[in-house]
Amino acid sequence: MVYITGAVLHPGVVEMEQGDRLHQAIGKVGGFTEDALVESVNQAMILKDEQQIDVLKEGEENRIASVEEEKDDRININEADITELKTLSGIGDVIAQAIVDYRTENKGFSDIDELKEVHRIGEKTFEKIKDYVYVP
């Protein structure tokens, strides 16, 4: 779910699929208004759950300057693909696939401690990766 505000025809919350881009959400709210500063947003941006995007009007300053979360270098284990998971210490193809399989079978992780339930992730592996992963 993302919240689109500002210079769009029908501002509001829209439901999107994982991996959708901003231009798709703009379409769902009816597109830009005539006075929209289209360049104020990156239409190619991949959207994140709970994100708010404010489309400015021409001559307007950003009203929601710091609404965006600070960049988090940790990996979201509910969204990461195998390639991202393999960047974690001790995680190779087999364990990365096991994480994805567990996530799919259990409709995601509720917290990072649940990683210990994944086949082949023991206490030692968990200790190596726990500071580099998160569940939103």
Domain residue spans of the chain: 2-55, 75-134
State which H helix or E strand residue 52 sits in. strand 51-55
What tens digit of pLDDT does each residue of 35-47 get? 999 998 999 999 9
Report the C-alpha gap between 8 and 27 in whole angstroms. Answer: 9
Task: Note the pTM of the prediction, 2 decimals.
Answer: 0.51
Tell me which of 1.10.10.10, 3.40.640.10, 1.10.150.320, 3.30.365.10 is the CATH number of domain 75-134: 1.10.150.320
Report the C-alpha gap between 14 and 124 in whole angstroms. Answer: 41
Residue 83 pLDDT > 80 = yes
C-beta of residue 107 within 8 angstroms of C-beta of residue 114: no
